[in-house]
Amino acid sequence: MPANESAPPVKKKGRRARLIVLVLVLALFAGLGYGAYWGVDSVRASFPQTTGSLKVPGLTGPVDVKRDAHGIPQLYADNDDDLFRAQGFVHAQDRFWEMDVRRHMTSGRLSEMFGSGQVETDAFLRTLGWRHVAQTEYDKKLSDETKKNLQAYADGVNAYLKGKSGKDLSVEHAALKLSDDYQPEQWSPVDSVAWLKAMAWDLRGNMQDEIDRALMSTKLSQAQIDELYPPYPFDRNKPIVEGGKVEGGKYAPQGSGGAGSTGGGSGSSATAMGSQASTGTDTATGLADNATAQGATVGLRTQLTSLAKTLDEIPAILGPNGSGIGSNSWVISGRYTTTGKPLLANDPHLSPQLPSVWYQMGLHCRTVSPQCQYDVAGYTFSGMPGVVIGHNADIAWGMTNLGADVTDLYLEQVKLEGYVYDNKVVPFTTRDEVIKVAGGASKTMTVRITNNGPLVSDRSDELGTVGSRAPVAGSAPDRGNGYAVALRWTALEPGKSMDAVFKLDKAKDFTEFRKAAADFEVPSQNLIYADGKNATGNIGYQAPGRIPVRGAGDGRMPAPGWDSKYAWKTGKDGSVEYIPQNELPYDSNPSRGYIVTANQAVAESGTGAGKYPYLLTTDWGYGARSQRINDLIEAKIKDSGKISTDDMRAMQMDNSSEIAALLTPMLAKINVSDPDVRSAQKLLEGWNYTQEPDSAAAAYFNAVWRNILKLAFGDKMPKELRIEGSCMNVRADSRGPADELAEVVRECGTRGPDSAQPDGGDRWFEVVRRLVKDEKSPWWSSPKKGFTQPATATRDELFARAMHDARWELTAKLGKDQSTWSWGRLHQLTLKNQTIGTEGPGFMQWLLNRGPWNLGGGEATVNATGWNASSGYGVTWVPSMRMVVSLNDLDKSRWINLTGASGHAYNGNYTDQTTMWAKGELLDWPFGKDAVDKATVDTLTLKP
């Protein structure tokens, strides 16, 4: 599930200049005598008090905060209000800088903290309107109990803030305080709700694929694009659920008559597949047939290129979308565990950041009662009450991103007075936004909204333009002869996901778990379940989420917004028709004894027996990780019949490469004459395809894989998908075979490093798996390079050239002596502190950042330390935490975080878990009071 939260805002000159000012202020603040050491006072002033007692206004009784040696707190209270008030206080103690940056980002107010360099980012976020949606959710959708908990949490944060500013909050706040007299405002419940919108943004599904396919169409044929987006291999990689069916308005798992309603949702599947079976070519036809589409090709390319660039610049809360953001989770029945009860594992793959997006915490009622309902522990989000992933006294749960297609881009034909819809001009809905800028004048913008959503391609005069600007008055941009681009997204409709968090935290069985899941509308997640009831416990799965039922089109390409047949279906009351919650797939105690979710297909869509009647998406992960986990579980069961907690941990650290297993035997057979390349080739002999950090073979193979992708695909991509700065000479014609007489032009890529293609993820595994059977596929052709690299026309010729290029690339990076090569030296993780630590000068980065760590694992492996093959080998996303829950004895559960509990640089808990995390180690996870007391090293009592 849940990629770079509170992440560094975009790189702008105005921002960098402001950061330099902050650095100078900090240097002065530290004092010349202290130099780089900063000064003990400024470093330690914001460290939290962890012993003794503190008064917290609003508490009705004492709350104990018990921290272990890693600073992980377990809270004990006598009522819900006190429990969540204390949670807000403790989160703010350790992570308020993170919380403050995050809420400014989710509300489009980064400019208030960081100046004019953030205006364009704020404008895009204001256009999306996360804060407006969050406010509506709080006002109209959430239960009274949820709002009460949110208010208690906000009161706790504000109790911490009272009387504090600058260095009392964090070193970063000290800089803002001295340079601009910045003073954080009070926390509000809506600040917490808005976080779910940012989380949903990074888990939004196939929006990047939709853009990429449209941009590819400017250079590649539809047949070529289809080759680069092959269908999911259901014959080889198992979906999450198999053989279920929808009957009588309810989903029934295989071999089950249905386990009852989840609540929520209505309707039937009668309109499902038939209305969604259109392909992307329908969209293209609808575009081409429009009589007013002059300039459409140029306009579309301009709009989508600009939109893609904007998306690159928006702070990713969780990680780079598209390249492989995902997660692993699996649960095993007690029939196959050494404990006799279920074991549940989860490791969400998100962007590496410092501090980690997760905060470990326990929330305990001293006595569970109607007045105090919670006894739960796990991973929380700083700035939001409750536990997101973890276990309570009765059940455990984990999450991975389902990947449902919940976003659609619509091309809008703009006129002076509005936008075209079914041959009529409809006025825009508009909203004015004022962006306050630290150290500068405020900026005003107008958000324009169509019936398909906000125009994400809009900008005001002050913010610059994306494409041509629209012929309307005021600050509304003109689209010229092209099209504006609107975003339809389920998260822009108010929902009840915050209710779901609290319901999960106190669910006692599978029925209550499914009822909670019904409210988890956005983002759509795979939810796995376990309990320790009865002889061997129970395991389960639920696919929740608000997933639209489309009219024409299948969401693969931008749709013509002017044609109502491409709109999302609506009911008689005009509301959007979503797949009914009762008809979403689930599973309960399957006969195989385990459930695996790792972003693979949930179910095979179709109309035949055993097929799921709704189209969830066509852009699943391709199942490399999930099938490897399936294979590991089945092998262990066959070998010993039982799986232990340590076996689960070992599976999480599995480094096996599927693409290496496919290609290495082919590479080993290629005749290589260059002795240096031949010596590198020998590294692959006898290699077992595991990517350990000390493996020279893994380093060489991944370099070969990267160069195969570049030669076969990267150099054939339109510049809008190639990494920024990658330049090459191309023929002026943009599609089909090059005309030898066409003009040669210099063309440079424009994509950012996180989303450039080919990224090397498991989609590319599947592409190459299919193509290697055709040794003379046109994809294997590449032009000659200089005097040493001849043109290639076959698979083996291209592979040989990739091996040569990889050899000399590693010579440049790691040295000529192969005995010194290792995958970890290439594949490094550096943890960067938010904002200043990411973009500040070297002095600041040295102070705030940590690393590097040499890692094993890789792209689409279970130990998913991702990297983008277009941009290099550095780690771009990671297992952001790992946990293994034992339902036989919750105190025997294990967990680890990427960094540590503290967000304060130089605090002992800043990165104290990272080295253990890198080694695959797990910490004991105490839950019961006796176990918590035994692990406690500091106790703080919060008093009324």
Provide the token pair at 157.
């944060």
Identify which of 137, 144, 141 has the alpha carbon closest to the alpha carbon of residue 191.
137
User: Between helices 80-106 and 189-202, what is the axis angle to 10°?
Assistant: 60
More confident residue, 682 or 214: 682
How many other CB atoms are found less than 10 A from the CB of residue 475?
A: 19
Amino acid 325: pLDDT: 62
Amino acid 124: pLDDT: 87
Amino acid 631: pLDDT: 98
- For 208-342, strand residue ranges (E) read 245-247, 250-252, 326-332
Quote the CA–CA distance of 698 and 700 in Å, as a whole number: 5
How many other CB atoms are found less than 10 A from the CB of residue 299?
A: 22
For residues 695-702, give the mean pLDDT: 98
- Give the predicted TM-score (pTM) of the model: 0.90
Amino acid 459: pLDDT: 58
Residue 785's pLDDT band (cuts 50, 70, 90): confident
What backbone phi and psi angles, to 5 degrees, belong to 889?
-150, 100
Residue 409's pLDDT band (cuts 50, 70, 90): confident
Amino acid 263: pLDDT: 38
Residue 473's pLDDT band (cuts 50, 70, 90): very low
Least confident of 57-66, 128-137, 568-577, 930-939: 568-577
Has residue 460 got a pLDDT over 70? Answer: no
pLDDT digits (tens, 9 = 90+) for 348-367: 998 898 999 999 999 999 99
Residue 573's pLDDT band (cuts 50, 70, 90): confident
Amino acid 839: pLDDT: 59
Amino acid 826: pLDDT: 98
Has residue 28 got a pLDDT over 90? Answer: no
Residue 96's pLDDT band (cuts 50, 70, 90): very high
How many other CB atoms are found less than 10 A from the CB of residue 473?
A: 8
What backbone phi and psi angles, to 5 degrees, belong to 802?
-65, -40
pLDDT digits (tens, 9 = 90+) for 299-324: 555 666 665 666 655 555 555 544 45
Amino acid 1: pLDDT: 44
For residues 827-849, give the mean pLDDT: 74
Which residues are CB-neighbours of 71 under 8 A, at least 6 positions away? Answer: 50, 94, 900, 901, 902, 907, 908, 909, 912
Tokens 């990074």 sit on residue: 202
265-293 as b/e: b if 16+ CB within 10 A: bebebeebeebbbbebebbbebbeebeeb
Provide the token pair at 405.
């297609």
pLDDT cut 90: percent of the chain above it: 64
Amino acid 387: pLDDT: 98
More confident residue, 351 or 258: 351
How many other CB atoms are found less than 10 A from the CB of residue 11?
A: 12
pLDDT digits (tens, 9 = 90+) for 903-926: 998 899 999 999 999 999 999 999
**Chain CA centroid to CA 402, Å:** 11
For residues 832-836, give the mean pLDDT: 75
905 contacts 366 by C-beta, under 8 angstroms: no
For residues 852-868, give the mean pLDDT: 96
Identify which of 594, 645, 591, 601 has the alpha carbon closest to the alpha carbon of residue 624.
601
In angstroms, what CA-CA distances link 695 with 649, 818, 823? 21, 11, 5
For residues 229-258, give the mean pLDDT: 87
Has residue 297 got a pLDDT over 80? Answer: no
Residue 273's pLDDT band (cuts 50, 70, 90): very low
The one-character DSSP state at 804 is: H
Quote the CA–CA distance of 60 and 77 in Å, as a whole number: 10
Has residue 33 got a pLDDT over 90? Answer: no
For residues 496-502, give the mean pLDDT: 97
322-359 as b/e: b if 16+ CB within 10 A: bbbbbbbbbbbbbbbbbbbbbbbbbbbbbbbbbbbbbb
Amino acid 274: pLDDT: 37
Provide the token pair at 371.
């007045």
Least confident of 219-223, 663-667, 807-811: 219-223
703 contacts 810 by C-beta, under 8 angstroms: yes
Amino acid 416: pLDDT: 81
Which residues are CB-neighbours of 604 under 8 A, at least 6 positions away? Answer: 232, 234, 239, 242, 610, 611, 612
Task: Round to the nearest angstrom and report the end-to-end CA distance of the chain.
Answer: 38
Amino acid 31: pLDDT: 42
How many other CB atoms are found less than 10 A from the CB of residue 307?
A: 23
Amino acid 465: pLDDT: 26
Dihedral, 670, 674, 679, 685 alpha carbons, nearest 10: 0
More confident residue, 269 or 769: 769
146 contacts 497 by C-beta, under 8 angstroms: no
218-257 as b/e: b if 16+ CB within 10 A: bbbeeebbebbbeebbbeebbbbbbbbbbeeebbbbeebe
pLDDT digits (tens, 9 = 90+) for 721-748: 999 888 887 766 544 444 455 567 888 9
Identify which of 700, 712, 727 has the alpha carbon closest to the alpha carbon of residue 764.
712
For residues 630-637, give the mean pLDDT: 97
In angstroms, what CA-CA distances link 367 with 251, 373, 940? 38, 8, 20
Amino acid 299: pLDDT: 54
For residues 175-189, give the mean pLDDT: 83
Has residue 755 got a pLDDT over 90? Answer: no
Which residues are CB-neighbours of 315 under 8 A, at least 6 positions away? Answer: 4, 5, 6, 7, 8, 9, 10, 105, 110, 121
Amino acid 596: pLDDT: 98
Amino acid 41: pLDDT: 62
Amino acid at 807: R
350 contacts 357 by C-beta, under 8 angstroms: yes
> Which residues pair with residue 269 across a beta bridge?
none
Half-sphere exposure of 879 (CA within 13 A, CB side): 36
Greatest mean pLDDT range, 192-201, 569-578, 768-777:
768-777
More confident residue, 34 or 22: 22
Provide the token pair at 592.
């195989």
Has residue 482 got a pLDDT over 90? Answer: no
For residues 790-803, give the mean pLDDT: 96
Amino acid 260: pLDDT: 36
Residue 292's pLDDT band (cuts 50, 70, 90): very low
Please say whether the dihedral angle defined by the alpha carbons of residues 305, 306, 309 and 311, taken in this order, is positive or negative.
Answer: negative
User: Between helices 658-669 and 696-712, what is the axis angle to 10°?
Assistant: 80
Amino acid 302: pLDDT: 61
Provide the token pair at 814.
């790691």
Length of the chain: 944
Identify which of 427, 445, 425 has the alpha carbon closest to the alpha carbon of residue 436.
445
On average, the pLDDT of the chain sits at 85
